[in-house]
Amino acid sequence: MKQALINDVAPFRLYSFGMGFAYRLINDDQNADIWLQDDDAAVFRVELDTMASIAPDRLYRDILGELWSQYSELARPIEPEGV
């Protein structure tokens, strides 16, 4: 599945997979990620777009931080490569 980096604003990186079929939000400070797909990915995208449109001057890092807080129960540790 094709992957695209949407934004890279420390400590967050947001990737889209399959033209929005899934999203991966990485928090480098916590060495963890959140994976959303299907309907969850669609809801996530609507929330992201809504936050950005309501406050266009808001920093993208702050938007991703708020979304991280909302979805934090889905966070999982990132396993080191090669393990």
* pLDDT < 50 stretches in the chain: none
E runs forming strands in the chain:
3-9, 12-17, 22-27, 32-37, 76-77
The pTM for the full model equals 0.92
> How many C-beta neighbours within 10 Å does residue 50 have?
11
Domain residue ranges of the chain, discontinuous segments joined by +: 3-77
Beta carbons of 3 and 16 less than 8 angstroms apart: yes
Coil, strand or helix at 5: strand
Q: Give residue-wise pLDDT tens across range 52-61.
A: 999 989 999 9
HSE of 32, CA atoms in CB hemisphere, 13 A:
11
